[in-house]
Amino acid sequence: MFIKSKYERIEIMYSDKRNISKSLSKGKKILREEEEKYKNSKKFISKKLKHYRIQKNTDIWDLKKYKLDLEAKHLYRSEIVQTKYFINNDGILKDFILVDTPGLNQTLLNEDIDRSKLYYKRADGIIWLIDVQNIVSLGSNNAIKKIHLINEDNSLNIYSEPTEMCSTKNMILVVNKIDILKNNDKDDIQRIKTQVKSMYKDIFKDIVFISAKNALLGTSLNDESLISESNIEELYNSIDKNFKLTAAKNQIISKYKNLSITGKNIIEYIDQYKRRLYKDICEYNTIEFQIKEKTEEIKEYVNKFLKSMEKYEYLKSTTQSQINEDVRRLEYICNKKLEKIYIYLYSRAMFTSGDIEDKYMSAMNNNFKVSFNLNYISKEKLPVNIISTKIKYLIDDILEELDYKINLIRNDIDKVKNYNFNLIYLDYLDINKHINCLDNIEEILRKLG
């Protein structure tokens, strides 16, 4: 794989998923060593095969079988599965990433074949290189048929739907080594070109004849005539014409696909968010309802208790100490109930299911604790009518004190509730606008698909 980069290097991937990064010189040295091991193993096999043929004087089929056995035992197979060259080059790498895959007619492992097929399907364009001397070879023809079938197989398409990028329009056949034909008769050269085009016109979008040798030599010597003879410019023009448009279409399709996936993820996130939001809105409103409900229960209890103190039977039989004792008992009960309500509602107002901290529980010992005034009840013996009047004043004070403390609790819980709701979401007064915005975003994303 060849990739344009400001910082030149080689990255090598091994079959065990190891990745190493080296400078160009060190990376090339590693690859040369691997190539040398492969060549030496081929030489060893060739030598053994030659010796076997001489010694055994065997037929061609037995020789082929022996060759396969030798290759299975002695042919060097590198653990390198992918090499990436990062090169600072303004040529074709400015617009494309080049991937050099092994030919399908080579002896490859299954994973190598699968990797090559995947690259073929992902590519914006495929350049198929053949030797002008082997244009009618059975191996080349079979390999070209294979790549044609792979290219037409939309089941491997990485995009959402079959498009032009999967058709033969993104395949170019490059016939190399035309410099070999330079001494041939012009009619003979034309005949070969006509033959190639006739054989492959239905498979490839374009067919270009080049001399890679002359192109490389002309570039290194800065020889324009050699570069012109190589016909390499025609290949560049064909790539621009047949690949760039496809690449642009693929990028648009890919961006739409990514946008669609992102949109679906956002919609799913919004749905989850709204479920939490509606749950907490319900909790928010429930707290308000429970403040009213539970404080009303205390008021009802206190009113019932105080009404019993207004009855004649109570006034006739009560004493100063009894009144004091009853009022203090009522005060104790009220504080217990208020404390329980406060802790419960404070915990819910925090939008958590955990226990609240001790410092909040201690608040009942200060601001929210009722203290009923007993100054209306004198110690001397008084007539029933006077005691009744004084108890009425006392009752008014008790109810006023209770209302005051309940309002303090309500305001405190409201403050905590609003603060925490705003901390998680936003100001509750803006919640309807917020939900409308979420609904609009969802609708837009769903329309985009």
Taking only the tens place, the pLDDT of each residue in 38-87 is: 999 999 999 988 888 888 777 788 888 888 888 889 998 888 888 988 88
Determine the pLDDT at residue 368: 84
Strands 206-209 and 9-14: unpaired
Residue 137 predicted with pLDDT over 70 = no
pLDDT, tens only, 16-31: 888 999 998 999 999 9
- pLDDT interval class at 407 (50, 70, 90): very high
pLDDT for the residue 299: 93
Q: How confident is the model at residue 138 (pLDDT cuts 50, 70, 90)?
A: low
Percent of the chain with pLDDT over 90: 28
345: Cβ contacts below 8 Å, ≥ 6 apart: 287, 290, 291, 294, 409, 413
* 397 CB-contact burial (10 Å; exposed 0-12 / middle 13-18 / buried 19+): middle
Tell me which of 73-77, 167-171, 333-337 is least confident.
Answer: 167-171
Confidence of residue 133 (pLDDT cuts 50, 70, 90): confident
114 pLDDT tier (thresholds 50, 70, 90):
low
What's the pLDDT at 388? 87
Least confident of 41-55, 123-137, 432-446: 123-137
Mean local confidence (pLDDT), 348-375: 67
Write the DSSP symbol of residue 366.
T
329-363: b (≥16 Cβ within 10 Å) or e: ebbeebbebbbebbbebbbbbbbeeeebeeebeeb
Looking at residue 316, its pLDDT comes to 85
pLDDT digit string, tens, across residues 271-319: 999 999 999 999 999 998 999 999 999 999 999 999 998 898 888 888 8
- Contacts made by residues 156-164, CB under 8 angstroms, sequence distance 24+: 156/117, 156/118, 156/121, 157/121, 158/121, 158/122, 159/250, 159/253, 159/254, 159/257, 160/253, 160/256, 160/257, 160/260, 163/249, 163/253, 164/246, 164/249
pLDDT over threshold 80, residue 116: no
**Residues 183-199 pLDDT 10s:** 666 777 788 888 888 88
Say yes or no to pLDDT of 384 above 70: yes
Question: Would you list the domain boundaries of the chain?
Answer: 1-91, 101-154+166-230, 266-448
Pairing mode of beta strands 19-22, 80-87 = unpaired
pLDDT at 436 over 50: yes
What pLDDT is attached to residue 64? 85
Residue 213: pLDDT above 60?
yes
CB 322 within 8 Å of CB 374: no
At 405 the pLDDT is 92
Distances (CA, A) of 448 to 88, 276, 442: 39, 25, 10
Right CATH for 101-154+166-230 from 3.30.465.10, 3.30.70.20, 3.40.50.1980, 3.40.50.300 = 3.40.50.300
What was the pLDDT predicted at 366?
Answer: 65
**Rounded to 5°, angle at Cα 118 from 164 and 168:** 30
Interior/surface letters 275-288, b for 16+ CB within 10 angstroms, e for the rest: eebeebbeebeebe
